[in-house]
Chains A and B, each alone.
Chain A
Amino acid sequence: MQNAIQVKGLQKSYKQLHVLKGVDLEVERGSIFALLGSNGSGKTTIVEILTTLLKQDGGKATVNGFDVALKPDNVRQSISLTGQFAAIDEILTGRENLVMIARLRHLSNSSQVANDLLQRFGLTDAADRKASTYSGGMRRRLDIAMSLVGGSPLIFLDEPTTGLDPEARIEVWKMVKELAANGTTVFLTTQYLDEAEQLADRIAILHEGRIIVSGALAELKKLFPSAKIEYIEKQPTLEEIFLAIIGKKEKN
């Protein structure tokens, strides 16, 4: 079966700065792929090239079988992007945001689509409030809901949990897992190792403009010396304490 994303020798420079120096990667259909890298490593640049927002300087990238440089319109038909910052219209209500995107995707039943997504993302009560009144987690949920309008088979999530509190973060993780369970391919960038570990079928690490390792988590673990057995006292992490206290842990 053809891969959802196929990238070979991708290059991109901003003036003097050589951000991508020949990136190769493949994303299987229906999988969750996590691109790991520190801030400024070029994760967003890769997302921007794959979503046709930016043109590469060299190399070839194919998304859902379409070359991003040659067939950008076909690529856009088949993807959805949730950028690094929640790209919602704050002056519109949650419902209006969803209806707007549904109309722009030329769906005939835009209000029905909006209703369904509001329900699925637990935003029905807040549906007719301006998005500017939403909490960070609600914004992110609305943002992702907007990306699901039209049911694109491939979704890009650029650092979807950056700046979210632990609770909202777990909510986003749950959503991503649901998406993948329904067959959507998810391309995710993150700087949190545990996020990649939690979600991804395959992980690639971007460092100094190249993918230095990639593979399933189990494969990556094999790259390291075999585990040594040590006895240590397991202290709960602050996150676990926090979540236990506010009683949301069972949601995970």
Chain B
Amino acid sequence: METINNYFFNDMVVMLRRSMRHIFRSLDTIITVTIMPIAMMLLFVYVLGGAIQTGTKNYVDYLLPGILLIAIANSAGYVSYRLFLDKQRGIFERFNSMPIARSAALWGHVLTSLVSNAISLMVIVLVALLMGFRSPAGILSWLAVAGILALFTLTLTWIAAVPGLSAKTVDGAGVIAYPIHFLPLISSAFVPTKSMPGPVRAFAEHQPVTSIVETIRALLSNQPVGHEIWIALAWCIGIILVAYLFAMRVYKKWA
């Protein structure tokens, strides 16, 4: 027992390395989580941006937080997919019959999601800088942004883990991807909610992505974050707790 716990970190690193290879060898994943968000950013800034009134000097400054969330949202479907394949192909079974910590396999996927998103988000921020994105934010604000993005990644990862672990078919595993894709679109990520008609606006203003976007935007532009940050944190932590409990229940059932 003791030896197994001592190796928990080692085992996680092996798992992380494994799924990072999966990501780097899947052109599809790289396109969806990095190239697509960059393409959207280019599209919105250089095609649609001229017509969008946001009240900021530079549209890319307004847009970037939303693009970062879209990149994270796009990666969630792959978490489900990778978990499903591991379960279906008996890889988890092999790991679970080995002397390694039970949860290492699952946490390996969660860690992979954090690391791979960190990499793709850094690439996207670099491209945004080339496109003229500038931020007066200091190091502490950037750290806060990184923390919120990590929390949002964890939120979506744990949501995605539930269908990934419980689905019977690969289509079932991917079911969560679509609603997650849409959340950033119906929020203040691209345009201010003021321009939206009543019901849409009500939805947009009361869903997690808007408060997260507003918080990140405020941090990056050195504005006071106000109460939005608490709403954002409450959403993320609340969803993580519920999704974590569900995912662990499914995982333990057969692990």
Please report A residues at the B interface, Cβ cutoff 8 Å. 51-53, 73, 76-77, 79-81, 83-92, 96, 100-101, 103-106, 130, 146
Residues of A within 8 A of B100 (CB): 104
Within 8 A of A (CB), among B60-107: 89-91, 93-100
Q: A91 to chain B: which residues have CB within 8 Å? A: 21-22, 25-26
Q: Which residue from chain A places its CB closest to the CB of B93 in the assembled complex?
A: A83
- Do the beta carbons of A85 and B89 come within 8 Å of each other? yes
Known: A91-B25, A100-B18. A106 touches B10 (CB 8 A): yes
Q: Is the CB of A81 within 8 A of B94?
A: yes
Instruction: Return the chain B residue nearest A51 by Cβ.
Output: B97
Q: Knowing A73-B1, A92-B21, A104-B11 touch, does A83 contact B90 (C-beta < 8 A)?
A: yes
Q: Could you say which residues of chain B place their CB within 8 Å of the CB of A52?
A: 96-97
Pick the contact of B98: A83, A92, A104 (CB < 8 A). A104
Complex Cα gap A94–B22 (Å): 14
Q: Can you report 14 residue pairs joining A to B where beta carbons are below 8 Å apart?
A: A53-B97, A73-B1, A79-B97, A80-B98, A87-B89, A88-B89, A91-B25, A96-B21, A100-B14, A100-B17, A103-B14, A104-B14, A106-B10, A146-B94
A residues less than 8 Å from B122 (CB atoms) = none
Instruction: Please state if A92 and B93 are interface contacts (CB–CB under 8 Å).
Output: no
Q: How large is the interface on B (under 10, 10 to 19, 20 to 34, 35 or more residues)?
A: 20 to 34
Flag if A53 contacts B90 (CB, 8 Å): no
Q: Are B4 and A87 in contact (CB under 8 A)?
A: no
> Complex: how many Å from CA A85 to CA B86?
12
Within 8 A of A (CB), among B193-246: none
Roughly how many angstroms separate A85 CA and B96 CA in the complex, as a whole number? 15
Q: How far is the CA of A79 from the CA of B14 in the complex (A)?
A: 20
Question: Which B residues are in CB contact (< 8 Å) with A83?
Answer: 90, 93-94
Give the distance in Å from the alpha carbon of A84 to the alpha carbon of B95 in the complex: 14
A residues within 8 A CB of B4?
A: 73
Minimum CB–CB distance for B233 against chain A, Å: 36
Number of residue pairs spanning A and B whose beta carbons lie under 8 angstroms apart: 63
Choose from B91, B96, B97, B98 the contact partner of A89 (Cβ within 8 Å).
B91
Q: CB distance A105 to B99 under 8 Å?
A: yes
| Contact between chains at B99 and A76 (CB < 8 Å) | yes
Q: Is B178 an interface residue (CB 8 A)?
A: no
Known interface pairs A85-B90, A91-B21; A104-B1 also in contact (CB < 8 Å): no
Contact partners of B11 in chain A: CB under 8 A: 104
Nearest Cβ distance between residue A94 and chain B, in whole angstroms? Answer: 14
The answer to whether B89 and A90 have CB atoms under 8 Å apart is yes
Q: Are A92 and B97 in contact (CB under 8 A)?
A: no
Report how far A227 CA is from B94 CA in the complex, Å.
Answer: 44
Nearest A residue to B22, CB-CB: A91
CB distance from B61 to the nearest CB of A (A): 38
Shortest A14–chain B CB gap in Å is 12
Is B182 among interface residues, defined by CB-CB distance under 8 A?
no
Tell whether B46 is near chain A: CB-to-CB under 8 Å. no
The list of the 6 closest CB pairs from A to B, nearest first, reads A87-B90, A81-B97, A87-B94, A76-B99, A51-B97, A77-B99
In the assembled complex, the CB of B72 is this many whole angstroms from the nearest CB of chain A, namely 23
Residues of A within 8 A of B93 (CB): 53, 81, 83, 87
- Docked Cα-Cα span, A88 to B25, in Å, equals 16
Check: B7 CB closer than 8 A to any chain A CB. yes
State A163–B18 Cα separation when bound (angstroms): 28
The answer to whether A103 and B97 have CB atoms under 8 Å apart is no
Which residues from chain B contact A101 at a C-beta distance below 8 Å?
94, 98
Give the complex CA separation of A228 and B181 in angstroms: 73
B97 to chain A, nearest CB (A): 4
B1-47 residues at the A interface, CB under 8 angstroms: 1, 4, 7, 10-11, 14, 17-18, 21-22, 25-26
A106 contacts which chain B residues (CB < 8 A)? 7, 10
A242 to chain B, nearest CB (A): 29
| Whole-angstrom distance between the Cβ of B91 and the nearest chain A Cβ | 5
Which chain A positions have C-beta within 8 A of B25?
91, 130
B98-A76 in contact (CB<8A): yes
Chain B residues in 8 Å Cβ range of A100: 14, 17-18
